[in-house]
Structure 1
Amino acid sequence: MNEVADEAGWDVQPGDEIAPLVEAVGRLLRLCREAAGMRVADFADVMRYGEDMIRKMERGQRIPRPEFLDKADGVLRAGGHLKAFMEDMKKARYPKKVRELADLEERAVELLMYGNHNIHGLLQTEEHTRALLATWRPAYSPDELERMVAARMARKRIFERSPAPELGFVQEEVTLRRPIGGTMVLRRQLEHLLEVARLPFVELQVMPTSRANHPGTGGRIQVLKFSDGTGAGRTDGGFGGRPVSDPRQLRIMELRYGIIRAQALTPEESLAFIEQALGEL
C-alpha cells in the first residue's frame, strides 16, 4: 500500500529558513490535488505513500523528495508546476549547515583543504561516508544518516563545474590507513582517491606520519577563495573554530596551509604513496 516513510522525504527542522518554501510547495501540492478532484486517500494510494505522510507534506512539515514531486506532477496533471520545485527541494532536504557550506563551495574558484583525522568529505566515496558517519555518537537515526550521506554526496557536484575550481588537498597518512567500514571499503576509497588525484584541476598530497613538526598539528584547515577577491576559511587550531572572512585571519590560514603543503609529499609522490598503500591491502 505505502512505501517506507523515510522514502518520502525529511522533516523540516524547527527554525530552518527553508520552512516557508517547503510550506509553499505543500500548499501547491494540496491545491493541485484538490484541482484534480482527488482525496488524500486516493492520492496516497496512487503515490504509494501513507495518508499521514501526504498530509505532512501538504502542511509543509515534510520535505518531499524531488522524485515524489516529479511523479505527483504527472498524477495530478500539474503542468510542470510541481516539477519546477524539484531542484529547490533537493537542496532543502539537506541540513542547514551543509547547505551553507555547499553554497560557499559552489561560489569558490579555489579551495585549499588540509585533513588530519578523516578524509575530506569531497574526496569520500558514498560507502566510506556512510561507514564514517555511522561511528559518530550520539548515533544518527537511519533517516538522519541517509540525509547526511546524501548531502555530502551532493557537494561533490563541484567536480563537474565548468570552469572547474582549483582544488588542493593535503591528507595526513593516517586518514589513508584507517580501515573505516572494512578493508574493501578502504580499498575502493583509495582507488577513488587515485581517480580524483589525476584530475587536471586537483592537487592531492599526502603528509607522512614521519614529518615530526608542521603547523597542521592544530587541526583541519579549509580556505575558500571567490572570484571577487574575497574568501572564507575555518580551522580547528584558531579563531575559536569559527568561520572567518577577515583578510588578516585568512592570511594566517593560508600561511599555515602553505607550510603544510611544502612539507607534504609532492602530488606525484603522493600518487605513488596511495598506490603502495592500496597494494598493501
Structure 2
Amino acid sequence: MTGRTESGAGQMANAEREERPERPAESDGTAHLFKALGKQIKVLRERAGMSQKDLGLAAHCGEDLISAMERGVRTPQPEFLIRVDPLLGACGVLCAAVDEVREALTRARTRHPDWFRNYARVEAEALALHDYSNQAVPGLLQTEAYARALFTQRRPLLDEETIEKRVADRLDRQRIFDRWPPPTMTYVLEEVVLQRPLGGRAAHREQLAHLLQVGRMRTVSLQIMPTATEEHPSLGSSFIVLTPKGRQEVAYTETYGYPRLITAPEEVRVFSERYGNIRSQALTNRESLTLIEKMLGDS
C-alpha cells in the first residue's frame, strides 16, 4: 500500500468513490531547504568534534536520525534545531531557521494531491492506526533503502529526482514515531512480505533489523501472519483502519493505484472486525519478533 487518504468533513462523501491518484506536485523548494540545513548541521557537528552518535546521545535521538537529517532525507524539526543549537555552538544560526522550517513543513503538506495530502495530515495527528499489509512493508516502517528500491523498480519508470523526493517524503512521515503522546499503532504483515529481499541482501537485512527495532517499541504491536496458516479471514488487498483526531473511525484501501476512503459506519465496522480476526490468527508480537530474528539470522 503506497498511500492513505483522509478528507475533511465536507469532503468525505466525495472521497468514498474510487478515483485515479494524480502525480504529486513535488517541486516546491522544500527539499532544497532541508538538504541545505542538513549540510549546515553536519558542518557544525564536525567542527564541534562530535560524531553522529555523540550528537544523537546529546540530543536524545538516534544516530540514524542524525544521519538522515544531514543527508536531507528527514526533516530537522523546529524543536530539534532549538535543542542542538547550543550543543553545536551554532550561536543562534540553527534557531534562526526555525520559522522557515515551520513554514516549509506547512508547504510540504501541499506537495501531494488531495487523495494523499489530506491523509498525510490526518495520519500525523491520528489517535490510532491499524495496518494490514500483504504486498510490501508499510511506508511508515520502511527503511530508506527499501523505499528507494520500491520507487526505483516501479513501472512506468520514475526519474531520479522524483525518486529522491518521494523517498524523502515517505521517510518524513515517520516523524509520527517521535510524537508525544504517541498514537496506538498495530501492524499485521504477511510473512511473504518479509521473505522478499527487495533492494538486495543488504537492504533486506537492514529492513528486517528496522522492523525488530520498531516492533520492540512500547507503542507498537507488530504481528506476522504465517504463510502456512490454513485459515485466513481476508485474502483481498491491504487496508488500514484509522482513528482521526476528533472524527469517527475510517478505513482505507488502495488497489493498483486506485485509493478508496471508506467512511460509512457499517462498512468501516466490517474492516475493523476483519482486522480483529486477522490479528487473532496471526503470531503474537513476541512470536513475530522471534520469527524476524530467525529470518535475519538466515539472510
Q: Same fold (TM over 0.5)?
A: yes
Percent of residue pairs bearing the same amino acid type = 38
Check conservation: 1:66, 1:87, Cα contact below 8 A. no
Give the AA of the match of 1:245: T
Check conservation: 1:93, 1:147, Cα contact below 8 A. no
Larger Rg: 1
Task: Please list every run of 5 or more consecutive structure 2 residues that lacks an aligned counterpart in the other structure.
Answer: 1-21, 37-95
Alignment of 1:16-55 (within 5 A): none
Deviations 1:13-71 (A, max 9, x none): xxx9x99xxxxxxxxxxxxxxxxxxxxxxxxxxxxxxxxxxxxxxxxx95122654998
The answer on 1:232 being equivalent to 2:242 is no
Give the AA of the match of 2:235: T
In the alignment, which of 105, 125, 135 is matched to residue 117 of structure 1? Answer: 135
User: What CA RMSD, in Å, does the superposition of the two structures yield over aligned residues?
Assistant: 3.0
Aligned to 1:52: none
User: Measured at CA, do residues 141 and 251 of structure 1 come closer, stay the same or move farther in structure 2, by a change above 3 Å?
Assistant: same
User: Measured at CA, do residues 274 and 84 of structure 1 come closer, stay the same or move farther in structure 2, by a change above 3 Å?
Assistant: closer
User: Measured at CA, do residues 63 and 166 of structure 1 come closer, stay the same or move farther in structure 2, by a change above 3 Å?
Assistant: same
Aligned to 2:280: 262
Alignment of 1:129-208 (within 5 A): 129-208=147-226
The answer on 1:215 being equivalent to 2:215 is no
Deviations 1:203-246 (A, max 9, x none): 00000100133122111010101343512211358xx8511111
User: Relative contact order (alpha carbons < 8 A, sep ≥ 6): 1 or 2 greater?
Assistant: 2
TM-score scaled by length of structure 1: 0.69
In 1, Cα distance between equivalents of 2:35 and 2:238: 40
TM-score scaled by length of structure 2: 0.65
In 1, Cα distance between equivalents of 2:35 and 2:129: 34
Matched position secondary structure for 1:222: strand
Give the AA of the match of 1:170: V
Check conservation: 2:129, 2:241, Cα contact below 8 A. yes
Count of residue correspondences = 217
User: Measured at CA, do residues 127 and 141 of structure 1 come closer, stay the same or move farther in structure 2, by a change above 3 Å?
Assistant: same
In 2, Cα distance between equivalents of 1:280 and 1:196: 20
User: Measured at CA, do residues 252 and 138 of structure 1 come closer, stay the same or move farther in structure 2, by a change above 3 Å?
Assistant: same
Check conservation: 1:94, 1:148, Cα contact below 8 A. no
Matched position secondary structure for 2:164: helix
User: Measured at CA, do residues 129 and 95 of structure 1 come closer, stay the same or move farther in structure 2, by a change above 3 Å?
Assistant: farther
